[in-house]
Structure 1
Amino acid sequence: MAVSSTFSKVDEYGFERPEDFDYETYEDFMSHYLIVLAKRAKKWTDLFGEGKSLKRNLTVKRYVRKGIPGSLRARVWMSVSGADLMRERASPNLYGTILAGPKDESLVDIVRTDLPRTFPDNIFFTEETSRLENSHRQMLFNVLVAYGHHNREVGYCQGLNYIVGLLLLVTKDEETAFWLLKMLVEHTLPQYYICTMAGLITDIDVLAELVRIKVPEVHAHVTALGLPWAVIATKWFVCLFAEVLPTETVLRIWDCLFYEGSKIIFRVSLTLIMRNKENLLKCSDFSALVECFKEITKDSLVLQCHEFMESIFKTPGSLPGSTITKLRTKISQEKEAKK
């Protein structure tokens, strides 16, 4: 089917499709999804066309959940996340000032080492394209180095390269990527990327507790086989599903993440686990369970991003932000008490 497919072996964001890519399923999905995209684009243009401002309200939230057109993503993300306001309140040209300032060579070396590892299957990040002026790899280097100097507590943490890389593929602008990264690291996912990764570790425990509440059989089975939840969820959370789920699905997740915050990560994780409950329970040993958790990110539904996004708001059921806040507090207090 791949040979006769009308779709390129490289997707619109420059990622090479895997050898086992299911072109037949994808073509069937796209034949319907392109119509959805066209309708959504018209609605978005009416709502947030040239010169129009965007305010957070139920209409915008509904629109975001149904997907933001690629051409508007950078503007909408900046607006609904609060990154625009953050930039307005900062000193003029903060990004340019940091970039032009003195550099910590040890930080620069660490970032430079990770550049070739970032999206090696993407045509915009190859060794050849990196030699071009204003290449994606050069922009990635600039943003990571600037942010590392701006936020010394974080510096550089592995995983940020994938986030910034995807931000650049969408926004095509260093400064926009810098402000969206700042919003994610300092507000949406606090303490995920500091050296202790305290926020990340707490949220993995929160996910485990949510699984125990919503699918107790899976929690009991994972516990019995001795698989740490950190092995399952660390990459999901650190990279915000980049390099884990299909690109367009990741971007649809990020649409909601920038509007609704970190609870979206839990919704996605719970949906993946709950949809694959039976397969997970069939695993009889540790290694089989590890492999099954890898396979659930290739679930046929994840390719159909529109249906998948609808399912993350239905499958896990009620999941208010207050529940996550209470669980974070409870888990943090329990850890503190054990010290």
Structure 2
Amino acid sequence: MMLGRLDEEENTGSAHGTSLKDRFKQVRMREEAGVSLPTIDDVPPTPIAPSVASIASNESTDTGGKILAPGTVSGVSAGPSAMTEAEVDWDLWQNVVYEGPAAVARSSADDLNRAIATGIPSAIRGVVWQVLAQSKNDELESVYKELVARGTEKQKDRNSNGTSLEKVIRRDMGARTSYSKYAAAAGLQEGLFGVCKAYALYDEGVGYAQGMNFLVMPLLFNMPEEEAFTLLVRLMNHYNLRDLFIQDMPGLHLRLYQFERLLEDLEPALYCHLRRRNISPHLYATQWFLTLFAYRFPLQLVLRIYDLIFSEGLSAILRFGIVLMRKNVTSLLAISDMQQLTTFLKDKVFDVYIDKDPSAGSILENGFFGSSSSNLDKEVYRADQLVRDACEVKLTPELLKTYTTEWEEKTRTEKERETELETLRTTSTSLAIKLRKLEERLEAADGEQATMATELVHTKVENEELKDENESLKGQVKELRIVIEKQPEDIEKAWKLERDDLMKRNQKSTTKTSGLSRS
């Protein structure tokens, strides 16, 4: 289950193992000596989450017969609820811490897988988590202290509003968690705030995402806040949890696709039933991956889930998801309405693991995460059975690699199609612009043509008028020609008449003059 992943980490982070080894050694000596751990009511609220070792160093006090929930900060039975401390294989866990999980996995893989599936002992859970993840990093712890102090004056009132980032984180803490009703959790609020703020400043690509406090709280219940920060960084980067929160959430889409393909291969009838009703994992399983089930399950069960995550990776969430679907196959197949199916998948799919008759040793106090306004606080889950069922799911790296290849091909095809569509949209837009310009030019040409047609009509009318005028002038010219042609003859006639008249008059005058001369 974990050998392949751990082989890659054999030599990673060995320089920081000394303090974890010392812590493990102290806890083992104390546990084997029979020194019990304090109860949840005995842990004083402090701004920094106490480590398991520091909690264990306190002397035990009487609980007054009060039964505490496995998985609380008290450390009592936070591991496998059915296991007594005498049954803890301290030699195995010591080999894990001292030699590294990869070395132990090569020699005793079955024993290690069985031990992790049974539950990492609560007293050493924080140490083992860091060993499995190879997260211990003194430099990063120093970076955390710088980040958590950035933009905040330590002398300032704790209740002040601070920066906008701080406001968002504090508002989210108050709205989405109900762990403050626990005395120990009250001392972890500032640690939770610090880790969320520091990571938001450390990784600007992710920033602060709503619900990140769900991821951080299980860490703070098992180690100091600076170690929780380094482990969160490791969880985000090495375990690829970061891909679930960056822009477009590629990691989330990949995990949901893997889950859907697993459901198709392992429970085909249920897959088809949901598929026909258009119910995809995005509708109900998104929070499983974004919060690692911490939004729903009590801390005891969340810690067991984290055990598997740190040993084999986020594929553990796929195991738990498939188990929940398998256990509810009959109920889901009996529901046909889409709304009822969605509601069942979101709220009731977990009920199959509720312990209807819990023993005193398995009583859990829910409410560290999620809403406390319902009966969820009273629910007790059969954690051991759920983890055992999850570990039985046949899930190999090769199968996940196949699904990943399919998803990458599907994503590549979709991107190519989207690129093609975008190219077509761009081309279409360009052609539309060209068409609009041509239409505008056509409209302008039509306008010019209309103007020219109007002018042509006017010209034709003018031509007709000029033609008529020309014909009239031609007639006048013809008449004038006739007049001109007749004019010399008329002039000559007139001249002759006038001449004859003058001659007659002259003759008369001559005759008259001659008569006068004779007389």
Superposition TM-score, scaled by structure 2 size: 0.54
**251, 255, 258: which is aligned to 2:303?**
251
The equivalent residue for 1:320 is 396
Deviation, 1:253, is: 1.3
Deviation, 1:299, is: 1.4
CA distance in 1, matches of 2:272, 2:351: 24
Deviation, 1:11, is: 6.5
Deviation, 1:62, is: 2.9
Bigger Cα Rg: 2
The equivalent residue for 2:172 is 114
The equivalent residue for 1:21 is none
Deviation, 1:179, is: 1.5
The equivalent residue for 2:386 is 308
Question: For each residue in 1:60-116, what CA deviation from the matched residue of structure 2 results, as whole angstroms up to 9, or x when unmatched?
Answer: 3332122111111100000011212xx15x456221122233479333232122110
Superposition TM-score, scaled by structure 1 size: 0.80
Name the SS of the counterpart of 1:36 in structure 2: coil
**86, 98, 119: which is aligned to 1:53?**
98
Name the SS of the counterpart of 2:190 in structure 1: helix
Query: Structure 1 residues 35, 165: closer, same or farther in 2, change over 3 A?
Result: closer
**134, 142, 145: which is aligned to 1:93?**
142
**221, 233, 238: which is aligned to 1:182?**
233
1:332 aligns with 2:391: no
CA distance in 1, matches of 2:292, 2:140: 29
- Which letter does structure 2 place at the counterpart of 1:320? T
**Would the aligned equivalents of 2:71 and 2:300 in 1 still touch at CA under 8 Å?**
no
**285, 288, 298: which is aligned to 2:351?**
298
Question: For each residue in 1:212-262, what CA deviation from the matched residue of structure 2 results, as whole angstroms up to 9, or x when unmatched?
Answer: 111111111111122231111011111101122233222111101101111
**Would the aligned equivalents of 1:279 and 1:292 in 2 still touch at CA under 8 Å?**
no
Query: Structure 1 residues 232, 262: closer, same or farther in 2, change over 3 A?
Result: same
What's the RMSD between the two structures over aligned residues? 2.8
1:127-206 map, 5 Å:
130=186, 135-171=187-223, 173-188=224-239, 189-206=241-258
The equivalent residue for 1:212 is 264
Question: For each residue in 1:271-290, what CA deviation from the matched residue of structure 2 results, as whole angstroms up to 9, or x when unmatched?
Answer: 11012111110011012212
The equivalent residue for 1:289 is 341
For structure 1, list consecutive stretches of 5 or more residues without a partner in the other structure.
1-5, 15-29
Percent of aligned pairs with the same amino acid: 24
CA distance in 2, matches of 1:169, 1:91: 20
Question: For each residue in 1:288-335, what CA deviation from the matched residue of structure 2 results, as whole angstroms up to 9, or x when unmatched?
Answer: 212322212121368222222111122x3x211232133123213212
CA distance in 2, matches of 1:204, 1:50: 36
**Would the aligned equivalents of 2:252 and 2:289 in 1 still touch at CA under 8 Å?**
yes
Query: Structure 1 residues 124, 168: closer, same or farther in 2, change over 3 A?
Result: farther
CA distance in 1, matches of 2:244, 2:199: 15
Deviation, 1:177, is: 1.2
The equivalent residue for 2:470 is none
CA distance in 1, matches of 2:280, 2:66: 39
